[in-house]
Structure 1
Amino acid sequence: MMESAIGVLCVFIAFYLARFAFKQFFDHNPERYERFLPYVGFRLVLPVAAQALVMLSRSAWVHLLHERAMVLHLLSAMLFWLTLIRLCCAVVRQALPKGRFERHTEHFLATVLWLGFVSWAIGFDMVVIEWLESMSFSVGKSRLNMLTILNGLLWVSIIVVVALWASRLIESRLMNLKHLDPSLRIVFAKLTRTGLLIAAVLIALPVVGIDLTVLSVFGGAVGIGLGFGLQKIASNFVSGFIILLDHSIRIGDRLMVENRVGYVTKMTSRYVVLKGADGTEALIPNDSLMSNTVVNQSYSDKSMWTSLPVSVAYGTDLDKALELLKQAANHPRVQQDPAPRGFVTLFADSSINLELGFWVADPENGFMGLKSDLNMAIWRLFQQHGIQMPFPQREIRILNDKPQE
């Protein structure tokens, strides 16, 4: 009973140490929680501190009472296993993309590891191992059992997850190199991930007992698959690297693809994400961007020219109206060099059509609000100076040619 109380006290002290560490490092700087080393450090404070306190308590118990502290020994083993589980889950969390799959994988891994610890603690692990070894079958000239298969899958999973974690870590470092072009950062990140995954496969195959010479057969099969069923995927993959290397499209560019206008928010090896002004996102395959005409409205300069139609009545002083249009374009988002300008575009049936042309410095913020502000400014200036905006009118004359009696 005393051992259990000491163990609970050690865990409570470690818990408060973990809360103190969280308040000190993450309360005022939450983005640290998303980094690998701070996150791992925080997750390991509780088990490591608790285990240190438990080991000190067990040593004092044995030294003073000359008895074996079995409860403290078991608690120390549990805390060591908790440290290992949290470390593995942190690597998985960093390696996999954020979302439901990452959370489910983390929970599944923690559950499996805890079941392994419980089976070891009650001595059930040897029974499970013998049962897996008994489930054997032949594949050609080789004799396999479930233990060998699970062991191979475990090592392959560990090596691939470590490779994904390393690639994510390198990718985050590359993305913070502001002196490199964004497209080059994406290229280096994707090359790093591809290279690490290939290296992981080459390392994992010999570990599980597969000869690397089988890759020649596998490579031939993959080549045939790329030539027939996977040619589109291969084309998108190669096209993605070409687009990134020639800098024809960059993140933040405003594109027009098949009458759809939007901004590039993400570039992957298969597609480009084009986000429209209405919030919808289109996934454009890289192959389409290479083979079709793409209008890059911000290739050399993100500024855009647009116009605003205005109608005035016949009899209006056009010079004055054009001057007022230029005054109305005095807006923070409208560039003054080149300066906005008014144009007479058409002498229509019931109006003279004018147009205010101007350059917008930040088209990524949209045009609806800007045009509304300019229309209101034009309306106020025209009202102040007595310039009328016409509306369609019809004059009907009835002629009576019948002679009067």
Structure 2
Amino acid sequence: MNNYFDSMFARKEFLARLIVHSLQTTSGWLELACAAMIMLGTYWLSQKILSVISKYTQQQENIKFPLLHHLFSRLLWPLLMFICTIIAMIIWRDSTGESVLWLQIAAFTARWLLMIRIIMATLHNAIPNNLFNENYERSLSTFLWICFILWLTSLDTFIIHLLKSLALPVGSTSLSLYTVITGSIIVGIAIIIAMWLSRITEQRILKAEKLDVNLRYVLVKIVKSLLVVIAVLIALPMVGINLTILSVFGGALGVGLGLGLQKIASNYVSGFIILADHSVRPGDRLNINNFTGYVTKITARFVVLRSSDGSEALIPNDTFVSNTVINDSYSSKIMSNNLTIKVAYNTNLPQALEILKEAAAKQARVCDDPKPNSFVTGFCDSGINLYVNYWIHDPENGFLSINSAILLEIWNRFKEVGIEFPYPQHEIRILNDAGDPIIYNTIPKPVNNTETRPAYPESLPTALSISPSNYSGQQTHHDQQ
């Protein structure tokens, strides 16, 4: 039985000659038609099954296991094609006694398609969507299909032999180019699996509400680093790379960290420090270099601050260790805010102060402890300045809406009790006594001979008395001149 299935799934040597010979016979065309019907029929059947499942999931409104649903929808067609092709191959051999070619190629294609779609589904779940987009998926799929064609035509044997002949000396040993390529692929697969496991672990750790927020992020970073290191240490011996070779690169890596990568290493270590000492936590309100924002994400290299207008700043982790950072939420998340109101001089000040406190306390976002308070802060030219102070427990939602609500409440309450808001005004009085002279300035001299002198009389009085009786808000005869 094993030999029977091995012969069914063995690669065909001289595939091009076998294809030409198959197309010259009637049985070859019948086998090709059978393979094409299986591919089209299984595709139609898979689409029908998926349409029924999609209607059922829409009625359920959500999917409990999105990964399994994604895998099932992607693997249904190649799985059906593979099963139907195997059945057709067995029937064809038993009924005709001839070897199969097109059905075998269809089985190889279905098996390879299964592998490619499993790899793509794994990458989609292991790598964030912003890093693994459609272009990378299309390029990787094309590369895998090229590898399939090389394997099917037996050209991979020649390429593998050529890569093994190219050796790279490393210390006392040598690494072939084939070992380096296969090692890189296996290490990449191991790292992707480690990232997948770390994302699953991260989701579980971050949902553990009993743990401190910073402790959760520290555990996430430690687990991710350990999984990546373990994946590399497991993958390298699998391809025949001795781990002692890494000592050659260890010295170069140490020199690189000491020279060019010291900033990256500093940011990485600082990320653990700020999480361990609870100086910065997600949701904190920070002020750094005149930029105020809330911590939305803490990565291995930087901290993301998002301001109220939506702009985001990426602050390196070592900034929080070496520089002064204003953390408005370090000991408590509640924040204080104040408003200044100006009222007229004829205002009942105790009543106005009480209205200010009541208007602030009426808002749901304002804290009850400490309570809002109001004060008289000064006597100005046009009115009296009043000051109301209050605390809110959700400063991340902004102050504009709460300020507007308090001011609107104050406006309505002041209108009810008749408290006036003063208009800025200036009172000008013109006082002229009979004995006060008005001195005219010296008439400017012409700059050149062509300049025309003003039409002033040759002799001007040195003083002019304006009595209140002849001043009616208009200029006098001499003033007009």
User: What TM-score does the superposition give when structure 1 sets the normalisation length?
Assistant: 0.89
Is the contact between residue 3 and residue 69 of structure 1 (CA under 8 Å) also seen in structure 2? Answer: no
Counterpart of 2:450? Answer: none
- Give the secondary-structure state (helix, strand or coil) at the position aligned to 2:282: coil
Supply the distance in 2 between the matched residues of 1:250 and 1:149 (Cα, whole angstroms): 42
Post-superposition shift, 1:187? Answer: 1.2
Supply the distance in 2 between the matched residues of 1:114 and 1:45 (Cα, whole angstroms): 19
Supply the distance in 2 between the matched residues of 1:250 and 1:270 (Cα, whole angstroms): 15
Which of 87-96 and 58-67 deviates more?
58-67
From the superposition, tell whether residues 354 and 100 of structure 1 become closer, same or farther in structure 2 (CA, over 3 Å).
Answer: same
1:92 paired with 2:123, answer yes
- Give the secondary-structure state (helix, strand or coil) at the position aligned to 2:309: coil
Is the contact between residue 14 and residue 47 of structure 1 (CA under 8 Å) also seen in structure 2? Answer: no
Post-superposition shift, 1:125? Answer: 3.1
Post-superposition shift, 1:65? Answer: 5.6
- Equivalent of 1:151 in 157, 182, 194: 182
Supply the distance in 1 between the matched residues of 2:131 and 2:434 (Cα, whole angstroms): 88
Supply the distance in 2 between the matched residues of 1:16 and 1:199 (Cα, whole angstroms): 44
Is the contact between residue 21 and residue 42 of structure 1 (CA under 8 Å) also seen in structure 2? Answer: no
1:309 paired with 2:340, answer yes
Supply the distance in 2 between the matched residues of 1:213 and 1:118 (Cα, whole angstroms): 37
Runs of at least 5 residues in structure 2 that lack an aligned partner in the other structure: 1-32, 436-466, 470-481
What's the C-alpha RMSD, in Å, of the aligned pairs? 2.7
From the superposition, tell whether residues 210 and 122 of structure 1 become closer, same or farther in structure 2 (CA, over 3 Å).
Answer: closer
Post-superposition shift, 1:231? Answer: 2.4
- CA displacement 1:259-310 (0-9 Å, x = unmatched): 3221110001111111000111111111111222323222333221111110
Which of 299-308 and 392-401 deviates more?
299-308
- Equivalent of 2:321 in 281, 284, 290: 290
- Give the secondary-structure state (helix, strand or coil) at the position aligned to 2:243: coil
- Give the secondary-structure state (helix, strand or coil) at the position aligned to 1:87: helix
Q: Which amino acid aligns with 1:95?
A: A
1:171 paired with 2:187, answer no
- Equivalent of 1:53 in 73, 84, 89: 84
Counterpart of 1:139? Answer: 169
- Give the secondary-structure state (helix, strand or coil) at the position aligned to 2:378: strand
Counterpart of 1:399? Answer: 431
Is the contact between residue 312 and residue 390 of structure 1 (CA under 8 Å) also seen in structure 2? Answer: yes
Supply the distance in 2 between the matched residues of 1:282 and 1:187 (Cα, whole angstroms): 22
Counterpart of 1:77? Answer: 108
- CA displacement 1:220-257 (0-9 Å, x = unmatched): 33333333332222221111111112222211112222
Aligned length: 403
User: What TM-score does the superposition give when structure 2 sets the normalisation length?
Assistant: 0.76
- Equivalent of 1:232 in 252, 257, 263: 263
Supply the distance in 2 between the matched residues of 1:253 and 1:195 (Cα, whole angstroms): 28
- CA displacement 1:197-240 (0-9 Å, x = unmatched): 22233233334444322333433333333333322222211111
From the superposition, tell whether residues 388 and 147 of structure 1 become closer, same or farther in structure 2 (CA, over 3 Å).
Answer: same
Counterpart of 1:200? Answer: 231
From the superposition, tell whether residues 104 and 350 of structure 1 become closer, same or farther in structure 2 (CA, over 3 Å).
Answer: same
- Give the secondary-structure state (helix, strand or coil) at the position aligned to 1:401: coil
Tell me which structure has the larger Cα radius of gyration. Answer: 2
Post-superposition shift, 1:359? Answer: 1.4
Supply the distance in 1 between the matched residues of 2:40 and 2:365 (Cα, whole angstroms): 63
Post-superposition shift, 1:11? Answer: 2.5
Is the contact between residue 92 and residue 102 of structure 1 (CA under 8 Å) also seen in structure 2? Answer: no
Is the contact between residue 236 and residue 270 of structure 1 (CA under 8 Å) also seen in structure 2? Answer: yes
Supply the distance in 1 between the matched residues of 2:272 and 2:329 (Cα, whole angstroms): 20
